């Protein structure tokens, strides 16, 4: 019996591998559409609580509240991109001034590490802390944001449709299954989990940024 079923198992494995190759190739070919759609869904998850707040607390209808939320997100994306672009330009203009400060700070770190018996390779540390390398990271981040902004219209339109569907989902469930019916399932659970994760992540990132700011102030950076 095992010998009879073995060819079938091999065939199923080959079909699964071929299907995986087709799926990966399809995702790669459709990346220009999939990435903006996923980003739109992510922004919509962030925007659902704001839409509900406007509707439930301020009595703003969804027809007005959703465009307001979408415009707020658009302004935020444009503002973040402009801030990063300004930072990159300023860093590029003053890159010659940062290099001596970085080298002096690195020398202090190496001196303190040597006192505690830690042997650090100065050449490796200098290579990691090169201003040109930092500039490359900032440039890559800016380029990624510019790509997102170049598809901003598609992202905002998709986000608007998702928000309208999300806000009307409960009404559709009640119309189909009764007044006590509420939407449940993977979408609702995922939305709540993502929102909780982002809340925790925001608090942790804010605390990390505060500690880094205090540390930089103490060392005079």
DSSP-derived secondary structure for 27-46? HHHTHHHHHHHHHHHHHHHH
Written as one string, the DSSP assignment of 149-215 is: HHTHHHHHHHHHHHHHHHHHHHHHHHHHH-TT----SHHHHHHHHHHHHHHHHHHHHHHHHHHHHHH
In this prediction, residues 108-127 reach a mean pLDDT of 74
Q: Where are the domains of the chain?
A: 184-221
- Distances from the Cα of 121 to the Cα of 20, 111, 125, 129, 167, angstroms: 44, 12, 6, 13, 57
What was the pLDDT predicted at 131? 64
pLDDT in tens, 155-178: 889 989 988 887 777 666 666 665
| pTM of the entire predicted model | 0.65
Q: Is the pLDDT of residue 6 over 60?
A: no
């Amino acid at each position: 019996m095992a010998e009879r079923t073995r060819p079938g198992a091999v065939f199923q494995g080959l079909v699964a591998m071929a299907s995986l190759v087709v799926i990966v190739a399809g995702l790669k070919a459709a990346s220009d559409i999939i990435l903006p759609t996923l980003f739109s869904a992510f922004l919509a998850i962030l925007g659902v609580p704001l839409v509900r707040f406007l509707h439930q607390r301020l009595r703003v209808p969804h027809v007005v509240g959703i465009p307001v939320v979408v415009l707020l997100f658009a302004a935020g994306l444009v503002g973040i991109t402009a801030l990063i672009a300004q930072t990159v330009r300023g860093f590029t203009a003053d890159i010659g001034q940062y290099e001596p400060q970085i080298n002096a700070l690195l020398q202090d770190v190496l001196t303190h590490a040597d006192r505690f018996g830690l042997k650090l390779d100065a050449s490796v540390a200098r290579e990691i802390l090169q201003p040109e390398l930092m500039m490359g990271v900032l440039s890559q981040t800016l380029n990624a944001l510019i790509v997102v902004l170049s598809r901003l219209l598609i992202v905002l339109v998709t986000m608007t449709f998702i928000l309208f569907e999300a806000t009307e989902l409960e009404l559709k469930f009640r119309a189909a299954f009764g007044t006590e019916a509420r939407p449940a399932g993977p979408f609702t659970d995922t939305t709540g989990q993502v929102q909780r994760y982002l809340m925790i992540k925001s608090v942790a990132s804010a605390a990390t940024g505060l500690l880094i700011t205090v540390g930089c102030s103490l060392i005079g950076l």
